[in-house]
Structure formats: C-alpha cells, structure tokens
Structure 1
Amino acid sequence: MKIGKNMHHDRRSLLTVLPALAVAGVAQAETRPGPIDLPKTEFIYESLVTLGPVQQVGDSPFGRRVRIPITGGTFAGPRIRGTILPSGEDWQLQRPDGFTVVEASYWLQTDDGAIIHIVNKGVAGKDYARTTPWFEAPTGPHQWLNEAVFTGTLAPVPGRTDAVIIRVFKIV
C-alpha cells in the first residue's frame, strides 16, 4: 500500500463523507415509525337537506345512475349556520355490489350572507355512509373552511323520504 499523497486524499474524502453519513443517520432515525397519531375530529355542523324526486338517468357498466335535486334545507353548528340554497344536485351511482357512490354539489348561505360552494363525495351502504365534503368559501370569516379536510356522515330522516341529515366534522 502506498502512503503519501493518496492517503492524504483518502483521509480528506473520508472527512467529507463522514458528516454526511452522520446527518443521514440522524434523518433516518427521525423518520422511523413511532406510535400512530390517530386523527381527531371537531364537530362543524349538522344539516337537514331537503330533496326533490329521484330522477332515473339509466344503467351503465358501473351501475345505475340517478339524479336527486337538492331543494333546500338548513345547517347549524358552533361556528357557522344558515340555509342550503335550492340549486344543487346529487348524482348517485348505485353499484351492483349494493353500495351507492354519492357526489353532491350545492350552495350554502350563511346567516351573515356568505355564499359557500360545497362538493360532497362519498359512499353509502346498508349500515355505512361517509362523505368527504370540500368547501369553496370566500375570503373572510369563513375561509377556514378552505384550509382543512372534512368528513361527514349521511343518514335518512326517520319517517321522511325527501330529506337527509348530514353531519360534518373537521379532521384535526
């Protein structure tokens, strides 16, 4: 083995690489899985959504498509309340496996006059109905709706076929 310039060069290379390896080791240690941080939820509002008659669109390879007009309703929670404007619709796909894919688009009007667009997608079955609402709120007191992920539950109103109850929760 030759000692001299090459050893000096190798030592300098080693001194350059060692700190990088140490940093990589620390970074790897910091990204190792730890306990799972389960998401929590914060109640945002409950809504009573009124519906028009179901309109059959037709069968497709994916299931039966129906359209349900959203005719109005109300919503209320600790930070927000108002009415549901009568201009939306829910396009549902009733799948052969017994589940229904929901995709509703409608408008909320808050008590302070803000108009908020909501697109609420989800899946519903016999004992399960969950949605993921996305909001488009104007800049101002309700813009916090644009800055989080939400989930919702969907349930029939006992004794009625023209309304559903939707509860919305912020994932925190």
Structure 2
Amino acid sequence: MDQDITAVVAEGPLSTIRTRHLFTMRLDVRPIVPIGSTPNGFRRIGFVTGGEIVGERIRGKVLNKANDWQVKRPDGSVTLDVRLAFETDSGALVTMAYRGLRHGPAEVIERLERGENVDPSSYYFRIAPIFETANADLMWLNGVFAIGTGHRFPQGPIYNIFEVL
C-alpha cells in the first residue's frame, strides 16, 4: 500500500462519524425472567409489552411480544440481543433488531438492577440497531445503520437512536 494508513484515518471522510437523530424510543417491559448460569454468563430474558417511537420522520408504537435476550457477564456488564417490531402512525410495520452493551461502576449497576433511578451519565449503555420494512415510503430505513444511547428506568429503557450518515 503506497499511502500511509495514519494519514487516511487522521483526515478526510474516515476521520469522523456523523449522525442525525432518527427517533426516541421508550419501551414498556415486564420483570426480567432469569434463566440461569450458562457457559456465556447469567442468561435472562426481558419481555417488551409495548412502547412508543417519536421522531421527526418516524412516529409510532412498539408492538407487544418483543424479546430482549440478555447475558450478565462475570464482569457485571450486560449484553442485549433484542428483536422487536413497531407500527408507524401511518400503519407501516418495521422490524428493529439490535445488540447492546451496558456496564458501569458496580454500585451504579446494582442500583439499576434494584430498579432505582440513576444518572444516565454514570454508566455506559449503547445499542446498534438495524431495520427492515416492506413499506415503500420507508424503504430508505432498510439502508440505515444506527447507534443509540440508552437509559434504564424501572418500567423500561428509553433510547435516543441516531442514523449514522
């Protein structure tokens, strides 16, 4: 390779990631169902019973029966593997799948696990969603990769989702 790789990374289009707010999502969840210790960590499943999506280009409701397959790892962090569907205000159906990671100081995570409200800046909670739809007006969403920041409340999480441009 003729070009110095550090120069490519330090300047130009590869040097930054631009985003645009896509929507805010609030999820309603039932209490976590513990499965138990597995070779990957402590498996548990969260069941999403609804929620809402609010954004400039997308608004709607999260449909019932979504799942959040979590693993609490030995280091105290939690990985998420979520599949859900939402219906926009115009009736379009969209699937959303995301992986996520939540971790922080042990005392903060313990407070979250007890259902206490904590400062969202005191822990790390990020997701990486992708979307799928057959709706012609939302076909652009099939080509979007997104990132999100989350905050866990006792009744469920809230995420700000950003389209990666």
Please give the alpha-carbon distance, in whole angstroms, between the structure 1 residues aligned to 2:51 and 2:101: 21
Aligned to 2:90: 112
Give the unaligned 5+ runs of structure 2.
105-122
- The range that moved more, 97-106 or 31-40, is 31-40
The superposition leaves residues 17-40 of structure 1 with CA deviations (integer Å, 9 ceiling, x where unpaired) of xxxxxxxxxx94598625152011
The superposition leaves residues 126-170 of structure 1 with CA deviations (integer Å, 9 ceiling, x where unpaired) of 21011100101114111111112110111123xxx1211011101
Aligned to 2:72: 94
Q: In the alignment, residue 146 of structure 1 is paired with which amino acid?
A: N
Q: How many residues align?
A: 143
Please give the alpha-carbon distance, in whole angstroms, between the structure 2 residues aligned to 1:30 and 1:65: 45
The superposition leaves residues 65-100 of structure 1 with CA deviations (integer Å, 9 ceiling, x where unpaired) of 000100001111010000000110100000001110
Aligned to 1:75: 53
Secondary structure at the counterpart of residue 144 of structure 1: helix
Aligned to 1:163: 156
Please give the alpha-carbon distance, in whole angstroms, between the structure 2 residues aligned to 1:105 and 1:29: 42
Please give the alpha-carbon distance, in whole angstroms, between the structure 1 residues aligned to 2:47 and 2:158: 15
Identity of aligned residues (%): 27
* C-alpha distance 29-168 of structure 1, shift in aligned 2 (>3 A): same
Q: CA RMSD in A?
A: 1.8
Q: TM-score, normalised by structure 1?
A: 0.78
Higher strand share: 2
Give the unaligned 5+ runs of structure 1.
1-26
- 2:71–2:78 contact (8 Å) kept in structure 1: yes
Alignment of 1:1-172 (within 5 A): 28=2, 33=8, 35=11, 36-126=14-104, 127-157=123-153, 161-172=154-165
The one of the two structures with greater contact order (alpha-carbon pairs below 8 A, sep at least 6) is 2
Q: In the alignment, residue 92 of structure 2 is paired with which amino acid?
A: A
Q: TM-score, normalised by structure 2?
A: 0.81
Secondary structure at the counterpart of residue 141 of structure 1: helix
Secondary structure at the counterpart of residue 104 of structure 1: strand
Structure number with bigger Rg: 1
